[in-house]
Amino acid sequence: MRRFGQAALLKPDMIAEYDTLHAMVWLKVLDMITACNIRNYSIFRQGDLLFAYFEYNGDDYEGDMQKMADDPVTQEWWKRTKPCFAGHAIGEYYTDMQEIFHHE
Amino acid sequence: MRRFGQAALLKPDMIAEYDTLHAMVWLKVLDMITACNIRNYSIFRQGDLLFAYFEYNGDDYEGDMQKMADDPVTQEWWKRTKPCFAGHAIGEYYTDMQEIFHHE
């Protein structure tokens, strides 16, 4: 199992939109997340700062991420979520962070 | 079980120190984390931005946090780690974020 931590920044005027989208997330988006072997996926927000945590329990992360990117429903979802992000030093979108500590 | 996401910022000249401390974390600090009902605890870093994720499976979070704060070894540990943090809009130290999404 691999753990991922990712940071991102929202446009200040898109914070409410991003919260609302995730409060009403589409079932087929969740099904695709599960199908791509992602588990225990949480997104936290403080102001415009986002942090995502998830665990990957498959054996082909790049392949599963491509499968997700090829899914038409996920593409529709991203059409709505990606405009919420601010281009910034952290990155255009969710950017992997380095795990420096773990304790079970 | 409650999930926590917390953000913090390091002083730029203390990033390496913070990484090193966590790479050589003291066993008694880990034992106290476990004794305080914290599980699956990870810290991620990107530049000076820290994100901590953990799960709490006890029934008295404030009491357990007080127990940790009262532990002499943890106090020694914090004497070394807390000077690494930058005062900032995010907060002086790890600050709880809001969970806006979760998928098992």
Token match 């106090």: residue? B75
- Residue A42's Cα: distance from chain center in Å? 8
pLDDT at B92: 65
Residue A91 confidence (pLDDT) above 80 = no
* Chain B residues near residue A30 by CB distance under 8 angstroms: 103
Q: What's this model's pTM, rounded to 2 decimal places?
A: 0.92
Q: Where do runs of H (alpha helix) occur along chain B?
A: 15-23, 27-35, 61-70, 72-81
C-alpha neighbours within 13 Å on the C-beta side of residue B50: 31
Residue A89 confidence (pLDDT) above 60 = no
C-alpha neighbours within 13 Å on the C-beta side of residue A89: 4
ipTM of the complex as predicted:
0.90
Domain boundaries, given as residue ranges, for chain A: 12-79
Element housing B101 (H / E):
strand B98-103
* Chain A residues near residue B47 by CB distance under 8 angstroms: 89
pLDDT digits (tens), chain B, 104 positions: 999 999 889 999 999 999 999 999 999 999 999 999 999 999 999 999 999 999 999 999 999 999 999 999 999 999 999 999 987 655 666 777 888 889 88
3-class secondary structure for A27-92?
HHHHHHHHHCCEEEEEEEEECCEEEEEEEECCCCHHHHHHHHHHCHHHHHHHHHHHHHECCCCCCC
Task: Note whether A103 and B41 are within 8 A (CB).
Answer: yes
Which residue from A minimizes the CA distance to B19?
A: A100
The Cα–Cα gap between B67 and B88 comes to 27
pLDDT at A94: 74
Q: Is A3 on the interface with B (CB under 8 A)?
A: yes
Q: Is A25 on the interface with B (CB under 8 A)?
A: yes
**What's domain B2-96's architecture?**
2-Layer Sandwich (3.30)
Could you count the other beta carbons within 10 Å of the beta carbon of residue A56? 19
What's the length of chain A?
104
Token match 């600050």: residue? B95
State pLDDT tens for residues A37-78: 999 999 999 999 999 999 999 999 999 999 999 999 999 999
